[in-house]
Chains A and B, each alone.
Chain A
Amino acid sequence: MTRKYELVYVVSPDATDAQVADLHTQVEQITQRLGGSIEKTDNWGRRKLAYEIGPHKEGTYVLETIDGGGELMKEIDRRLKVSDLIIRHLVVRIDEEQTVVNRTRSKRTEASQRRRIARGLPPDRQPGEGQRGDMEDDDRFDMNEVER
């Protein structure tokens, strides 16, 4: 019964690439020691922060997807809190949400396929089908409206 977590941490802009890589290996070591595994690592590179955190205006974002237990994430969280180089981090559990998302998605496609078959159409939507253009739906909120 492993859980899936997502970890994002923001490394201080002063850190060199080697230091960022070092942090990654540290996280990897902890996961291995506590019986987890890293599924995916993604370095977003340097980004501007939405607000200043202490003296920093930029940060290097790293995303890791980790399989493991709660104890492991607790340990990682503790270690990241202590680290000086890391200015922000966030641990989120994602497996439950993912199953829900997948379920709704498959449910929707199934339902639409069933409906289409009932109408005597091929189960998948053909290109060029549908009465209205796909993106020109005017009913939608387009961010420039003000309620009066």
Chain B
Amino acid sequence: MNGKRGFGGGGGGRGKTAGQGGQQGKDGQRRPMFRRRKVCKFCADKIDDINYKDTKLLMPFVPERAKILPRRISGTCAMHQRKLRTAIMRARQLALIPYTAE
């Protein structure tokens, strides 16, 4: 009975938090993950206009390799990610933002 409950209850949350029941061997490796709730920066700050000229706004979304940061990491909403993409591509054309890191 006990073992069964461990199986059923452990997977309740996110997949990555993993079950706690019955794993005594490697308890040091699995600590509870703290994950921030991600919020779209543009929705939160009420930035309506994502402009290609505004390099300060765009730069955080093109980290070292100069690739566009995916939504799954930045938490940007779909609409703003699309706008961000066009803005970044325009800025790249004008050499305001790099295409790649050298």
* Contact residues of A between 35 and 79, Cβ < 8 Å to B: 49-51, 53, 59, 61, 63
Decide if A147 touches B73 in the complex (CB within 8 Å). yes
Decide if A50 touches B49 in the complex (CB within 8 Å). no
Interface of B is mostly: loop
Using a CB–CB cutoff of 8 Å, the interface residues on chain B facing chain A are: 36-39, 41, 44, 46, 48-49, 52-53, 60, 63, 72-76, 90, 92-100, 102
Which residue in B48, B75, B92 is a CB contact (below 8 Å) of A101? Answer: B48
A139 interface residue, CB < 8 Å from B?
yes
Interface size of A in residues (CB-CB distance below 8 Å)? 26
Residues of A within 8 A of B76 (CB): 141
Given known pairs A140-B39, A147-B73, the reply for A59 and B44 (CB within 8 Å) is no
- A99 CA / B31 CA spacing, docked (Å): 50
Using a CB–CB cutoff of 8 Å, the interface residues on chain A facing chain B are: 8, 10, 49-51, 53, 59, 61, 63, 88, 90, 92, 97, 101, 104-105, 108, 137-141, 143, 145-147
Which of B96, B97, B98 lies at the interface centre, i.e. has the most chain A CB atoms within 10 A of its CB? B96
